[in-house]
Amino acid sequence: MAKHEGDCFLVPGPVRMNQRCLEAMARPVITARGGEFRDVMADLNSGLRYAFNLAPSQPVKKTHSWSSEDDYKVMVVSGSGTAAMEMLIANRFRPNDLVLVPTNGKFGERVAEMCKRFCNVKHIKYEWGRAFDLYELEQQLERGCYEALLICHNETSSGITQDAPAIAEMCNRYNTSFILDGITSIGGLPVHLEKWNVEAAAMGAQKCTAGPSGIAAIAFTTKFYERCKVIREQGDSNALFYLDIISAFKKGDDDQTPWTPAINLAMGWSEALNVLKEEGLENRWSRCQNLASGVQNLFSHLGFELPADPFHRSSTVTAIMYPEGVNDQWRVDLKEQYATQVIGAQDHLKGKMFRVGSMGETTKEEMIEGCKRMLECFKKHGVSIPEVDVDSFF
């Protein structure tokens, strides 16, 4: 196998962009209202449907590229994944609605925090990386008082992917809407919105689809949108403007946006999604999974502690505790002396853990080389590590 040369960029987003994506971003200006941009939007919509694992649509304007034969529509948001999640939450719930949000990491907690601004929340907080107690969730759903259950599907802060099929099954059994923050899962690991009967989901460009940061998307069902409309008509909706789904919906069918969109980001993301199509969605899922398994098996074998529940470790990010005596200086040295970037931890785990991304277009060669450099750097920091054949873990 050829050795990876140059930098290893193993960060769980923003991930490295393809040269084609970068070049598309540098295209000269076009207007936001003309036919050229509507071509871009149609292409992007079609690419988004592919990444969301939905029925295909034509990448051609005036063909309702945002919809297809299933019950979902996709919509671009000129903002981060957080903006996309807010668009789902703020439009879908009235201030008096009650939602259930189980969490086991920072981004789930952000979903709960966001919900708290716009409605009432039962927030069930688990230890970072620990799987949800499905029995406890079921007891909650049995109460019949929740408008929806929301999860951060893939928790990058602790490296765990939630058991979405099981949670979906429960939501359906108790007739509760299921909403997914898929910002770091969609495009990188198996997501089946239709099979799981997910009412709406959000994704961010700069994560699994290797697009630029600052642009995101949502997918939602007719039921979701009708509920947003009823709430608005009844006059007890949350106040919002930029992220108003009703304004965006009116323009969506015409491949347009209500406010000036991030034109160059849309062009870049569209090209990144073309790259994804060429690889194939399932091939990408497999590649991410193989890379993550390799990292997880390697570091576990070497005695490192991984905080995520072993049965639900993420395919797009691996969280690894530092051994005794190592802190974030290791990460600085890794970057400066080994040209390899991974990311630190957040909140209470800051300085105690590092995280390795395996999303986007990272190759096996890059991951293997990156792992070798990590081990070298640990040795330099006084950690005793036996000689291992890193390649054999992948």
Report d(CA 201, CA 174) in Å as an integer.
19
Applying the rule CB under 8 A, the residues between 254 and 313 that interact with a copy of itself are: 259-265, 268
The vertex-190 CA angle with 135 and 269, nearest 5°, equals 130
Question: Is 178 within 8 Å of 169 (Cβ atoms)?
Answer: no
Cis peptide before 102 (omega within 30 of 0): no
- With CB under 8 A as the contact rule, which of the stretches 55-63, 112-120, 135-143, 363-371 interacts with a copy of itself? 112-120
DSSP-H helix ranges across 199-328: 222-234, 245-252, 263-279, 281-301
Partners of 121 in the beta sheet? 99
Taking a C-beta distance cutoff of 8 angstroms, is the pair 105, 152 a contact? yes
Q: Between 167 and 211, name the residue whose CB sits nearer to a copy of itself.
A: 211
Tell whether residue 95 is a contact of a copy of itself (CB under 8 A): yes
Tell me the site size for a copy of itself, rule CB under 8 A.
53
CB 10 within 8 A of CB 362: yes
Strand (E) or helix (H) holding 155: strand 154-155
Residue placing its CB nearer to a copy of itself in the complex, 15 or 152: 15
Enumerate residues 245-264 that contact a copy of itself by CB under 8 A: 259-264
Report the residue number, 193 or 273, with the smaller CB distance to a copy of itself.
273
Contact 184, 156 (CB under 8 A): yes
Considering the complex, state which of residue 166 and residue 246 has its C-beta at the smaller distance from a copy of itself: 246
| 171/320 with CB nearer a copy of itself | 320
Binding mask 324-363 for a copy of itself (x = CB under 8 A): -----------------x-x--------------------
Please check whether residue 115 is in contact with residue 238, taking contact to mean a CB–CB distance below 8 angstroms: no
The nearer residue to a copy of itself, 23 or 133, going by C-beta atoms, is 23
Distance in angstroms (rounded) separating the CA atoms of residues 219 and 183: 12
Q: How far is the CB of 34 from a copy of itself (least distance, A)?
A: 8
The residues of the shown chain that bind a copy of itself, judged by CB under 8 A, are 9, 11, 13-17, 22-23, 25-33, 78-83, 86, 90, 95, 113-114, 117-118, 204, 206, 212-215, 238-243, 259-265, 268, 341, 343
